[in-house]
């Protein structure tokens, strides 16, 4: 069994510019996102929660996120933002970049990003990002609790994935020939994410995200408001929406927050 992550693993020199003011490391809980959202007023800006096992881990659109105990990096960060903060729209972008960069530094794998929030290696899902926000009462001007969750498969073997995921999911242990150092990966991920969330979102962030994304020119099937659409990706907009040339004719813009990707 792999040892649990510690505060020293994640923050060896103490809190960073924004992240690490509170660090909650739990053996088991329902969801790191839910934990921070429900305790946002108490924990405050920059809080980090990580778990060895989640009983109700979630991906986008309420999908389950399952991982054997100690097999993954499962963590969330809490940011207190103004109601009109552009970071709420861009939330998943810096997390996806930080995770890709940490993996590339610590292993010989180079993940790409699959719109809107999946991390891909060898055509299979390695991890995902889930950003959620909720209003915080008692603030004038109004504030929101923004929670960004990251799930990264580290030690899983093929038999650990459900039958429905067997052909579409993978882990660093499967894809990388060298041993996987989960503490170093988690530390590198947090350090990069801290650098991104400590500065304002900008065009360079989006450009770096698009450079990691393999979706331009690909054929996609999307679902919005219970209706399916198929077509070819033409553009990723400055706020991360997808512009698709539809098979049925015309172009349509799909928002990441309201669209489910089927393939």
Mean pLDDT, residues 164-183 taken together: 90
pLDDT at res. 169: 92
pLDDT at res. 181: 96
How far are the Cα atoms of 52, 70, 96, 116, 239 from residue 90, in angstroms, in the given order? Answer: 27, 29, 11, 11, 7
pLDDT at res. 206: 85
Residue 165, SS3 per DSSP? helix
Which residue, among 226, 224, 5, 199, has the nearest Cα to 98 in the 3D structure?
A: 199
Q: Is the per-residue pLDDT at 65 higher than 70?
A: no
Q: Both ends of the chain: CA-CA distance in Å?
A: 34
Mean pLDDT, residues 141-165 taken together: 90
pLDDT at res. 173: 96
CATH architecture of the domain covering 219-261:
Roll (2.30)
Name the CATH superfamily for 7-212.
Bira Bifunctional Protein; Domain 2 (3.30.930.10)
Q: pLDDT by residue (tens digit) across 126-140?
A: 999 999 999 999 888
Q: Is the per-residue pLDDT at 60 higher than 60?
A: no
Neighbours of 44 (CB within 10 A): 13
Residue 116: asked if its preceding bond is cis (omega within 30°), the reply is yes
pLDDT at res. 44: 96
Where do the domains of the chain lie? 7-212, 219-261
Q: pLDDT by residue (tens digit) across 247-257?
A: 999 999 998 87
Q: What DSSP character marks residue 164? A: G
Q: Is the per-residue pLDDT at 212 higher than 60?
A: yes
| Residue 64 pLDDT grade (very low, low, confident, very high; cuts 50, 70, 90) | low
């Amino acid at each position: 069994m792999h040892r649990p992550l510690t505060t020293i693993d994640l923050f060896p020199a103490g809190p960073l510019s924004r992240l690490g003011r509170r660090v909650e490391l739990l053996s088991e809980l329902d969801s790191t996102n839910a934990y921070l959202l429900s305790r946002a007023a108490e924990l405050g800006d920059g809080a980090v929660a990580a778990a060895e096992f989640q009983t109700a881990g979630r991906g986008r659109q309420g999908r389950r996120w399952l991982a054997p105990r100690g097999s993954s990096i499962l963590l969330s960060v809490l940011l207190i933002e103004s109601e009109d903060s552009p970071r709420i729209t861009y939330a998943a972008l810096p997390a996806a970049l930080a995770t890709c960069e940490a993996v590339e530094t610590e292993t010989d794998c180079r993940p790409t990003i699959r719109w809107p929030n999946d991390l891909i290696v060898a055509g299979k899902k390695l991890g995902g990002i889930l950003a959620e926000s909720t209003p915080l009462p008692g603030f004038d001007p109004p504030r929101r609790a923004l929670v960004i969750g990251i799930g990264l498969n580290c030690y899983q073997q093929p038999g650990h994935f459900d039958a429905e995921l067997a052909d579409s999911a993978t882990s660093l242990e499967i894809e990388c020939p060298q041993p996987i150092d989960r503490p170093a990966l988690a530390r590198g991920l947090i350090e990069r994410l801290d650098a991104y969330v400590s500065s304002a979102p900008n065009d360079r962030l989006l450009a770096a995200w698009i450079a990691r994304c393999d979706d331009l020119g690909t054929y996609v099937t999307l679902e919005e408001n219970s209706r399916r659409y198929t077509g070819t990706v033409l553009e990723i907009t400055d706020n991360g929406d997808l512009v698709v040339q539809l098979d049925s004719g015309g172009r349509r813009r799909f928002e990441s927050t309201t669209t489910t990707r089927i393939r």
